[in-house]
Structure 1
């Protein structure tokens, strides 16, 4: 199963109202299935700061994190998402070759 499908499957455990997982590996020089962006809107993030939200995501991913070079997380509560409406665009990679 492709990693993006595994990521989506595991992140659905956070009961998101909105989940978007993008494979952004093509924007980087580390190969295929290495860089991902996840936009997660879940009531489970209510009352948590950004660090605690990210820790919650990392804990849910467990050992799968060891198979990924980079994961950009954009975590929102439903109310925050209603105001924000979209995650910021990913920057262009300035990494090595």
Structure 2
């Protein structure tokens, strides 16, 4: 079963409550998303660590329930 946009958003906001999360369904299939996350939690972290925080927020669903996520992270 594919992961819905709101479920992705909820997981990210639970881990990063200040985040602004923008999600786009790239293929219209609920399986391939682009996600932009803006959070103060990313300040001072390199891009790899920023992405790891988002993947950790998804609780291991990346690669299983969530097939593909093009991720862009930023600080405010």
For the criterion TM > 0.5, the same-fold answer is yes
Tell me the TM-score range normalised by the shorter chain.
0.7 to 0.9
Paired with 1:17 and 1:58, the residues of 2 have a C-alpha distance of 14
Where structure 1 has 5 or more consecutive residues not aligned to the other structure, the ranges are 27-31, 79-97
Q: Which has the higher strand share?
A: 2
Q: Select 1:69's aligned residue among 47, 67, 70.
A: 67
Please, what TM-score do these two structures have when normalized by structure 1? 0.67
Q: Which is greater in Rg?
A: 1
Give the equivalent residue in structure 2 for 1:12.
13
Label 1:22 to 1:34 Cα distance change in 2 as closer, same or farther (>3 A).
same
- Say what the alpha-carbon RMSD is for the aligned residues: 1.4
Please, what TM-score do these two structures have when normalized by structure 2? 0.83
Q: Which has the higher helix share?
A: 1
Q: Select 1:54's aligned residue among 27, 44, 51.
A: 51
Give the equivalent residue in structure 2 for 1:3.
4
Paired with 2:18 and 2:35, the residues of 1 have a C-alpha distance of 11
Give the equivalent residue in structure 2 for 1:87.
none
- Residues paired across the two proteins, number: 72
